[in-house]
Amino acid sequence: MSHTHDEALLAQVAALPALPGVYRYFDAQDQLLYVGKALNLKRRVSSYFQKDHGGTRIGHMVSKIVRMETTVVRSEAEALLLENNLIKTLHPRFNILFRDDKTYPYLKLTGNGRVALPAVVTTPEAQHYPRVAYYRGGVEKKHRYFGPFPSAWAVKESIQLIQKVFRLRTCEDTVFANRTRPCLLYQIKRCSGPCVNLISPEDYKADVQHAVQFLNGETQTLMRQMEARMMAHADKLEFELAAEVRNQLGSLSKVLHQQSVETAADTDADILVSKVQGGRACVNLAMVRGGRHLGDRPYFPVHVQDAHDLLGLDDSERQIPVEVQVLEAFLAQHYIGVPVPPLLILSAPVHKTLIEALSVQSGVKISTVTQPREHRRIWLEMAEKNADLQLARLLAEEGSQQARTRALAEALDLAPDDLDQLHIECFDISHTAGENTQASCVVFRHHKMQSSDYRRYNIDGITPGDDYAAMRQVLMRRYGKLAEALRTGEGTAKLPDLVLIDGGKGQVSMAREVFTDLGLDLSHIVGVEKGEGRKVGLEELVFADGRDKVYLGKDSAALMLVAQIRDEAHRFAITGMRAQRAKVRMGGSRIEEIQGIGPRKRARLLQRFGGVRGVEAASVEDLASVEGISQELAEVIYQALH
């Protein structure tokens, strides 16, 4: 065994049982490095410490291990599920990780279809006429949901089809209850007008049932039922009703033809393609629901390069291609908490234990196909083409972004240890007519904006409109503690490689004063000064350490990055101001927090004094003159606002 690790850790490895389980490695800062599963914990974990991994990624990771945790489970399937639950929640450094950036949208049909219909309808009630709507969030048993769909566009397209063929309503219940005449959707034959009693609850219920059959993929049964209904109307000489059903049939046939599912037996399936190129990976997920191909969505995992060597072998020392590693990681992580369809069409075969574990977890018997035929083959080829396109787009965008980072580092003589770690922070000051001043700070690292690190600062105690004082305050607040940590050598504090100031000489001078007071390096400060006529592309860079101004050129990749970061700081500042103004319009959070002030009293106060500033300027006597505000409550309000 290696002699670079603590004896207690090596003893723990030697004492591991030969049972299935999950292991977790931690570094000296107690950061989680890696989560893995094993059919035989002792054999698998020992292999990390017994072999010489040299300068590989696995060797780099093993050298950092100072602590280990293990959990014994009953089976390989349990180990797999636990492993991926931990990966998804703890985000280890060296695992392939698919981030939960979005939730899936659904198509919602209100009600559960069990409401008793009235014998006679005088005033239509919304509960008797289910509404079709776009929905995102947790599902409830009192409504019916169809999906998930890969995108909002797919849901909205399905709603449009249902409006066109079955003419179900999309209006809110409050709108439904207050209609006195049919809306435009009725005029263009996209709604049957239940709000004004133009269709009976029984006929509307039949349309709802047909829409459910369509969404469930029961298209052939639905077509036969509609044909029989059309003939029944014709036999009764109800030719107008027969014509309406005929038009529905025509619209439905056209939709099915466009979807190319007349011959498709599959109702629900996911098509998954894994592609790896240039150190990046893409999993393209296409969805078929109710026999209709709903479109696809790409996923881009992180840590693919780091995980390559670590996941290259399984417990039987079988070499696993990186595309399969990525695909297996996606399957294991994605379907935690997401419905899994009974059929998965895959670009490569995966371990059967994984599919068995997914079946147990979901309660759905899942089958997989890797060499599909006929329409399934077409679906897979579509998904493969889209995966290639999405991966090429990602690589092109990242290549362009990395080129911008490199160009800026070269233009400003920045020399970070690793270009990927180039750290830039940018500040912007915003206010409303000199009041409610806010400062924003945005962060650029790893060749992209890091929105989770953005911060807003409310600026107090300055002369209204004094942007220089505002800049001084935000820089002191942002870097004061960092400067102290650098002086004492505590922690791993590090000054950004570049501090961008949205402004010219004046703002840079203020930043220079702050950094001088804090004992920080002035070479990190760069101001972005507007060019002649404030035209985009003519900006000049102003330096705090006395260097001459630099004009990078309007086509410069370095200037493009500076402008990108500066514009993001401005956007972030503007959104903060809008949110603050919205609070003021609604009465301000300070008034909302006063005990005894509800919506009605707040509205009266704002109306009487013309806004929150007027309330703040009012005396106790003025406040007490408002209806519903007692002398005692007026004193409480005055004290709270002063």
pLDDT of res. 587: 43
In angstroms, the CA 414 to CA 416 distance is: 6
**Does residue 480 carry a pLDDT above 60?**
yes
Q: Any residues with CB less than 8 A from the CB of 368 and at least 6 apart, and which?
A: 343, 344, 345, 346, 349, 350, 355
**Does residue 439 carry a pLDDT above 50?**
yes
pLDDT of res. 3: 45
Mean pLDDT of 309-318: 50
Confidence label for 22 from pLDDT (cuts 50, 70 and 90): very high
- Residue-level length of the chain: 642
pLDDT of res. 102: 56
Tell which wins on pLDDT, 596 or 34: 34
Lowest mean pLDDT among 65-79, 107-121, 147-161, 236-250: 236-250
Tell which wins on pLDDT, 236 or 13: 13
The count of other CB atoms within 10 Å of the CB of residue 477 is 14
In angstroms, the CA 516 to CA 590 distance is: 37
Residues 265 and 365: beta-carbon distance below 8 Å:
no
Burial class (CB in 10 A: 0-12, 13-18, 19+), 174: exposed
Mean pLDDT of 95-105: 74
Pairing of strands 292-299, 280-289: antiparallel
pLDDT by residue (tens digit) across 133-161? 988 877 778 888 887 888 888 888 888 88
**Does residue 257 carry a pLDDT above 60?**
no
pLDDT of res. 2: 46
Pair of tokens at residue 55: 């300068």
Pair of tokens at residue 305: 């390069």
Q: Which domains does the chain have, with CATH numbers?
A: 7-90 (3.40.1440.10), 269-391 (3.30.420), 419-583 (3.30.420.340), 588-641 (1.10.150.20)
Residues 511 and 543: beta-carbon distance below 8 Å:
no
pLDDT of res. 547: 83
pLDDT of res. 438: 85
SS (H, E, C) 75-102: CHHHHHHHHHHHHHHHCCCCCCECCCCC
Lowest mean pLDDT among 81-90, 111-120, 180-189: 111-120
Maximum C-alpha span of the chain: 94
Question: What's the chain's average pLDDT?
Answer: 82
pLDDT of res. 602: 80
pTM of the predicted protein model: 0.64
In angstroms, the CA 230 to CA 234 distance is: 6
Confidence label for 100 from pLDDT (cuts 50, 70 and 90): low
Mean pLDDT of 63-75: 90
pLDDT of res. 317: 47
Confidence label for 579 from pLDDT (cuts 50, 70 and 90): low
Confidence label for 499 from pLDDT (cuts 50, 70 and 90): very high
Q: Choose among 49, 50, 42, 48: nearest CA to 21.
A: 42
* Torsion angle in degrees (nearest 10) through CA of 225, 231, 236, 241: 70
Q: Choose among 424, 347, 315, 297: nearest CA to 37.
A: 315
Confidence label for 400 from pLDDT (cuts 50, 70 and 90): confident
pLDDT by residue (tens digit) across 186-199? 999 889 999 999 99
pLDDT by residue (tens digit) across 406-418? 888 888 877 666 7
Tell which wins on pLDDT, 240 or 207: 207
pLDDT of res. 305: 67
Mean pLDDT of 20-27: 92
Helix (H, G, I), strand (E, B) or coil at 111: coil
DSSP label at residue 170? -
**Does residue 263 carry a pLDDT above 50?**
no
Confidence label for 443 from pLDDT (cuts 50, 70 and 90): very high
Mean pLDDT of 515-536: 82
Mean pLDDT of 169-175: 89
pLDDT of res. 113: 77
pLDDT of res. 260: 42
Distances (CA, A) of 291 to 250, 260, 294: 19, 9, 9
Residues 460 and 532: beta-carbon distance below 8 Å:
no
Pair of tokens at residue 438: 């806010």
Which is it for the CA torsion 575, 577, 581, 584, positive or negative? positive
Tell which wins on pLDDT, 217 or 204: 204
Q: Choose among 271, 544, 477: nearest CA to 387.
A: 271
Confidence label for 251 from pLDDT (cuts 50, 70 and 90): low
Pair of tokens at residue 419: 């270009």
pLDDT by residue (tens digit) across 445-464? 988 899 889 998 988 888 87
pLDDT by residue (tens digit) across 335-388? 887 888 999 999 999 988 889 888 988 888 999 999 998 888 989 999 999 999
Task: Quote the percentage of the chain above a pLDDT of 70.
Answer: 88
